[in-house]
């Protein structure tokens, strides 16, 4: 808590429909010290309208509102007060606290309902708890949770079939993000059984996602211990080892959900290189990602129709269409099929198109260095940087 807040008294407004009716409550309040801070009775509200006015203009920390008020009753007054100043904590006062009354008070925006004749000890405990709740905004975790530049972002890169450059797109996009956010990006080879992600980065994993799924409980330290460090600042969770493909059909979704949650806690960006939808876990991961990049080529009609079928499957899995980003890869300047053909087949606009640069891509893959690092000024690298820019823009709340 900031030092000026720590020293300042807690401002309280009490309702007092009749002169002297709030004397007992006032006497108890002025004796209390909550979180090292004294309580200061900042004013008395005579009716429901005055409750709302004081909330709006005095912005007290606490308001004690009697359910029985002249004019606007206590419930309506509470609704107005909370709307006028959401930071004010409202407590309803009722001589007979019933479940029905408590429910009505909660719906009106109150944080608690008490009998005005309750003991000083109970009142003290309640105020301590309410003030702790109000001061949650002073905690470092609040700033972290509400900073749009620290919001975890999950990105899936997938395709309807192999050989279209899905891993190349995922690896280079992750490398761009890692250059901008070192040690804050994890690239997950989501059960890739051929180790293409590790190969693209010249990494030699000894453990991967399959080993993690064998643990009953997952935490940040355990997951970090299974990540490989790349010189770009990228962290990699390798796929399953060869001969372990049976793990793909046995993934426990709740356990997978735990893994995804841990990855979001230990990284700003998580990029999933996802195999075509052959396994039950893949649709779940896609549903958890804010951005789903579907990679296709313009090679033939079958490739474009497969991409259309994949997009339909994803959408039918209750994933909003706007999350899907169609990327045309290996685009030739002159070819039999065009971007228009792909858009017509998929009923989606192409979000980005990556030119066919076989020599650059092949050399980068064989060297184990993403082309965005080895050839940053090439057109293909600039395209991936532009994709990262657009994802960052879309991921930052206005």
- Please compute the mean of the pLDDT values over residues 99-112 and round it to a whole number: 94
- pLDDT for 344: 95
Q: Is 208 left (phi over 0), alpha (psi -120 to 50) or beta?
A: beta
User: 27 versus 182: which is more confidently predicted?
Assistant: 182
Q: Is the pLDDT of residue 387 over 90?
A: yes
User: Mean pLDDT for the chain?
Assistant: 87
Domains 3-143 and 147-395 share a fold: yes
Contact by Cβ (8 Å): 294, 166: no
Residues whose CB falls within 8 Å of the CB of residue 83, separated by 6 or more in sequence, listed in order: 109
Percent of the chain residues past pLDDT 70, beyond the cut? 89
Q: What is the mean pLDDT of residues 182-190?
A: 92
Residue that wins the pLDDT comparison between 91 and 19: 91
User: What is d(CA 100, CA 317) in angstroms, rounded to the nearest whole number?
Assistant: 40
Model pLDDT, residue 175:
96
Specify whether the CB–CB gap between 91 and 122 falls below 8 A: no
Mean pLDDT of 72-78: 92
Decide if pLDDT at 102 tops 60.
yes
Q: What is the pLDDT of residue 265?
A: 84
Residue 82 has pLDDT above 70, yes or no: yes
The pLDDT score that the predictor gives to residue 3 is: 47
Separation of alpha carbons 127 and 133, rounded Å: 10
CATH of domain 3-143: 3.40.50.2300
Instruction: Say how many CA atoms lie within 13 Å of 263 toward its Cβ.
Output: 28
273 φ/ψ sector (left φ>0, alpha ψ -120 to 50, else beta): beta
Per-residue model confidence (pLDDT) at position 270: 95
pLDDT at 50 over 60: yes
CA distances from 219 to 223, 260, 261 (A): 6, 11, 9
**What is the pLDDT confidence band of residue 1, given thresholds at 50, 70 and 90?**
very low
Contact (CB, 8 A) for 285 and 156? yes
How many alpha carbons lie under 13 Å from residue 266 in its C-beta half-sphere? 22
The stretch 331-342 carries a mean pLDDT of: 89
Listed range (136-145, 201-210, 227-236) with the worst mean pLDDT? 136-145
Residue 122 above 70 pLDDT?
Answer: yes
pLDDT of residue 389: 96
CA distances from 49 to 46, 69, 85, 87 (A): 8, 10, 14, 18
List of long-range contacts for 202-208, beta carbons under 8 Å, 24+ apart: 202/367, 202/368, 202/369, 203/228, 203/230, 203/236, 203/238, 203/368, 205/236, 205/238, 207/238, 208/237, 208/238, 208/239, 208/240, 208/241
For the domain 147-395, what is the CATH code? 3.40.50.300
Token pair recorded at residue 154: 């999950």
Kindly give the residue spans of alpha helices, DSSP state H, lying in 22-119: 23-31, 48-58, 74-84, 99-108
pLDDT tens digits, one per residue of 213-254:
788 888 999 999 999 999 889 999 988 766 555 665 667 788
Share of the chain above pLDDT 90, in %: 50
* Digit-coded pLDDT (tens) for 245-286: 566 566 778 888 888 889 988 889 999 999 876 667 888 889
| Region 367-374 average pLDDT | 92
Residues 318-333 pLDDT 10s = 899 999 999 999 998 8
Q: Where are the domains of the chain?
A: 3-143, 147-395
Name residue 228's beta-bridge partners.
Answer: 236
Report the range of poorest mean pLDDT among 188-202, 264-278, 337-351.
Answer: 188-202
């Amino acid at each position: 808590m900031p030092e000026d807040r720590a020293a300042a008294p807690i401002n309280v407004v009490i309702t007092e429909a009749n002169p002297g009716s709030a004397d007992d409550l006032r006497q108890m309040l002025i004796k209390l010290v909550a979180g090292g801070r004294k309580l200061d009775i900042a004013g008395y509200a005579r009716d429901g309208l005055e409750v709302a006015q004081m909330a709006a203009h005095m912005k007290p920390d606490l308001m004690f509102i009697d359910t029985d008020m002249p004019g606007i009753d206590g419930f309506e007054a509470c609704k107005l007060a909370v709307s006028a100043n959401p930071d004010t904590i409202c407590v309803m006062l009722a001589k007979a606290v019933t479940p029905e009354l408590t429910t009505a008070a909660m719906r009106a925006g109150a944080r608690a309902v008490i009998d005005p004749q309750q003991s000083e000890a109970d009142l003290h405990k309640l105020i301590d708890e309410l003030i702790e709740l109000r001061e949650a905004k002073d905690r470092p975790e609040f700033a972290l949770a509400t900073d749009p530049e620290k919001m975890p972002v999950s990105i899936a890169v997938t395709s309807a079939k192999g050989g279209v450059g899905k891993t190349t797109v995922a690896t280079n996009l992750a490398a761009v993000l890692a250059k901008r956010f070192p040690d804050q990006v994890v690239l997950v080879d989501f059960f890739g059984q051929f180790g293409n992600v590790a190969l693209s980065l010249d990494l030699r994993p000894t453990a991967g996602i399959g080993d993690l799924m064998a643990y009953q409980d997952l935490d940040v330290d355990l997951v970090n211990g299974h990540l490989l460090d790349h010189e770009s600042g990228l962290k990699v969770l390798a796929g399953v080892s060869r001969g372990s493909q049976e793990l793909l059909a046995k993934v426990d979704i709740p356990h997978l959900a735990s893994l995804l949650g841990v990855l979001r806690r230990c990284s700003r960006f998580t990029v999933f290189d996802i195999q075509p939808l052959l396994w039950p876990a893949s649709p779940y991961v896609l549903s958890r990602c804010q951005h789903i990049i579907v990679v296709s080529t313009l090679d033939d009609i079958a490739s474009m129709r497969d991409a259309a079928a994949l997009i339909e499957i994803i959408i039918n899995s209750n994933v909003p269409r706007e999350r899907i980003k169609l990327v045309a890869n290996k685009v030739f300047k002159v070819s039999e099929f065009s971007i228009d053909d792909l858009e017509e087949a998929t009923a989606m606009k192409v979000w980005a198109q990556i030119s066919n640069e076989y020599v650059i891509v092949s050399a980068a893959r064989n060297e184990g260095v993403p082309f965005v690092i080895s050839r940053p000024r090439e057109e293909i690298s600039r395209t991936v940087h532009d994709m990262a820019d657009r994802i960052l823009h879309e991921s930052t709340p206005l």
